[in-house]
Amino acid sequence: MKKKTVFAILFLLTGIGVFLGWKFFGPATNTPQGEFFYVKTGSTYSDVKKDLVEKKYISGPQWFDLASKFLGYKTIKPGRYKILKGMSITNLVRMLRNGNQAQVSFVITKLRTRQGLAGRVGKSFECDSLSVIGFLDNNDSLKTYGLDTNTVMAAVMPYTYTLNWNTTPRKVFQQFYTAYEKFWTAERKKKADSLKLSPVEVSTLASIIEEETLKKEDKYNIASTYLNRLRTGMKLQADPTIKFALKDFSLKRITGVHLKAVSPYNTYLNTGLPPGPICTPSLETIDAVLYAPATDYLYFVASSKFDGTSVFTTNYDDHLKYARLYQDELTRRMDSSKKANAK
């Protein structure tokens, strides 16, 4: 009789052990709202538990409470956490307790304005776009980096940045600035100095070139043309700066009315470079400025072939000839498009 009792107790204990093992170490999570679970700054333990249940990552709070108590999960660490379907309750609690976030890969390509950057950051991180633009619009904050509201976008280099979701606007920008400083090596600074330009001024000129062409082979000659204009005191007369001044990036044809826009970014009215970049240029375009060839070019215009290339000239008469060819072809294409749409 005693032997049977012992076996019964052992069987019961084994069953309890298997059950507890399954509950603590078996699959316990679902991902009905996606793999990423967000814990906001200032959240309490109750907030985290409630969100996990309401968003159906876990079926109920009981086993989460037990695991949290056993593993000592008390301090809430905000962040973005990747919950895999079938993760055990123990692994879930450990991840949250240790703050093992899934970092955000934030990719910078071409951005034109501080507002555009703020919108992108606000969509990717906990901080909203208003707090980001508040930082980017604050000259006192930017003074630390030797920048201001006009030049700040020069430090936003086209890289992929890996950051925590709950990173502050200042820390996000610090990542940008660290990459910016790393890019500007002693060699690049020396090249900029030989052009009598600062790194920010190089980025500003590169941003104009970035908006002028996608053709790598033309970037170097456009850079040379603009550098020649700067040296001789000619106005840059760069159409992309007009679009930036008007904040109308859809303009296809710049007319006399547009050229009268009163703005420090209007390079038809003002001599020299605008106050800051008009977009975030590629690394290739920045190097096109630093390593521009020596030419006598003073003018360039888009080719009438509409193949994305430019025609470079050393005198105004030739420039006017090629400009007329381009304008005539542009008018013809626009008229053809209107007729086609009217049918």
Indicate the domain borders of the chain.
23-98, 104-183, 186-297
Cα–Cα dist 164/145, whole Å = 22
Q: Are 305 and 233 in contact (CB under 8 A)?
A: no
pLDDT digits (tens, 9 = 90+) for 105-125: 999 999 999 999 999 999 999
pLDDT at 5: 67
Q: Are 93 and 64 in contact (CB under 8 A)?
A: yes
pLDDT digits (tens, 9 = 90+) for 130-173: 999 999 999 999 999 999 999 999 999 999 999 999 999 999 99
pLDDT at 308: 87
Q: What is the dihedral of CA 56, 62, 65, 70, to 10 degrees?
A: -130
pLDDT at 254: 86
Tokens 């930036």, residue?
Answer: 244
User: Which amino acid, one-letter code, is at 116?
Assistant: G
Q: How far apart are the first and last CA of the chain?
A: 99
User: Which amino acid, one-letter code, is at 335?
Assistant: D
pLDDT at 12: 56
pLDDT at 38: 97
pLDDT at 23: 65
Give the fold, CATH level 3, of 23-98: Dna Ligase; domain 1 (3.30.1490)
User: Phi/psi of residue 130, each to 5°?
Assistant: -65, -40
pLDDT at 336: 81
Residues comprising the chain, all counted: 343
Give the tokens for residue 70.
Answer: 């056993």
Assign 254 to helix, strand or coil. Answer: coil
Q: How far is CA 39 from CA 52, 69, 124, 134, 164, in A?
A: 10, 19, 14, 24, 12
Q: Which residues of the chain have pLDDT under 70?
A: 1-24, 342-343
pTM of the model: 0.87
Which helix (H) or strand (E) is 47 found in, with range? helix 45-54
pLDDT at 151: 98
pLDDT at 26: 78
